[in-house]
């Protein structure tokens, strides 16, 4: 009844409406208002105490380094999930969920609390305007981009999903709820210094496949 009352048809999952709202916000802030960097924080996310400091410290890098597509707030993606989740749950590995200062680089984009510079929005706007969900299309574009365009991602989440029941059904907590982002006492001066960690080698078959596609 809620979906019908809002004008959703049976075919309409809300994805294109979400995409249009996202693009409107990006164009308003990055194009019309001429901001250089914008963070999108959805209403079902709880930001960490250092969420804004994290973006404030690192946005100049995303703005100045043309190889950086954006700065994410939530660690996920194929390379991260294959190499790090098991280790994280055991407090091990190079990308620990308790490490405030560790980042990794990956050709994957997740919109949860992410920030992007104006350069990225303008680069992908022609495709974004006529695509599906905003982060899904950027994932595909990053994956197919041969120039090394990637995102910087924190090993420790800077946002946490708030369980909710929306138009797409129930949304529950995720695997990394063990790393409670609301623990303000954990935030120290070390959050102002960051380093890049290596998640490990990618699958050679995946590299070869991408090379063939780009060739």
Per-residue pLDDT for 83 more than 60?
yes
Which tokens in the block code for residue 187?
């935030």
Q: How far is CA 50 from CA 41, 60, 157, in A?
A: 14, 17, 10
d(CA 31, CA 89): 41
**Cα–Cα distance list, 179 to 12, 90, 98, 165 (Å):** 35, 12, 7, 23
Identify the band that residue 7 occupies on the pLDDT scale cut at 50, 70 and 90.
Answer: low
- For every residue of 155-182, DSSP letters joined together read SS-SEEEPPEEETTEEE---GGGGS-TT
- Cβ-contact 191, 102 below 8 angstroms: no
What's residue 56's pLDDT?
93
Name which of 22, 15, 40, 45 is nearest 174 in CA terms.
Answer: 45
Q: Is the pLDDT of residue 175 over 70?
A: no
d(CA 47, CA 162): 10
Helix, strand or coil for residue 143?
helix
Q: How far apart, in whole angstroms, are the C-alpha atoms of residue 23 and residue 34?
A: 15
Could you give the CA distance from residue 215 to residue 210 in angstroms, rounded to a whole number?
8
Say what the pTM is. 0.78
Mean pLDDT of the chain: 75
Q: Cβ(126)–Cβ(141) under 8 Å?
A: no
> Which of 73-82, 156-165, 182-191 has the highest average model confidence (pLDDT)?
73-82
The pLDDT-based confidence of 152 (bands split at 50, 70, 90) is: very high
**Interatomic CA distance for residues 35 and 38, integer angstroms:** 7
């Amino acid at each position: 009844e809620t979906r019908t009352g809002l004008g959703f048809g049976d075919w309409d999952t809300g994805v294109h409406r979400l995409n249009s709202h996202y693009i409107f916000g990006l164009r308003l802030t990055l194009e019309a208002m001429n901001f250089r960097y914008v963070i999108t924080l959805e209403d079902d996310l709880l930001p960490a105490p250092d969420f804004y400091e994290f973006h404030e410290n690192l946005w100049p890098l995303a703005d100045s380094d043309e190889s950086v597509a954006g700065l994410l707030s939530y660690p996920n993606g194929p390379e991260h999930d294959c190499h790090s989740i098991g280790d994280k749950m055991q407090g091990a590995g190079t990308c620990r969920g308790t490490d405030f200062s560790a980042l990794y680089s990956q050709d994957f984009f997740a919109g949860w609390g992410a920030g992007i510079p104006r350069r990225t929005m303008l680069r992908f706007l022609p495709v974004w305007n006529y695509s599906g969900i905003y982060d899904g299309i950027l994932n595909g574009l990053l994956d197919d981009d041969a120039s090394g365009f990637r995102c910087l991602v924190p090993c420790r989440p800077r946002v946490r999903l708030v369980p909710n029941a929306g138009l797409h059904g129930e949304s529950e907590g995720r695997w990394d709820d063990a790393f409670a982002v609301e623990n303000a006492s954990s935030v120290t001066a070390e959050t102002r210094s960051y380093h890049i960690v290596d998640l490990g080698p990618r699958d050679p078959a995946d590299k070869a496949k991408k090379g063939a596609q780009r060739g």
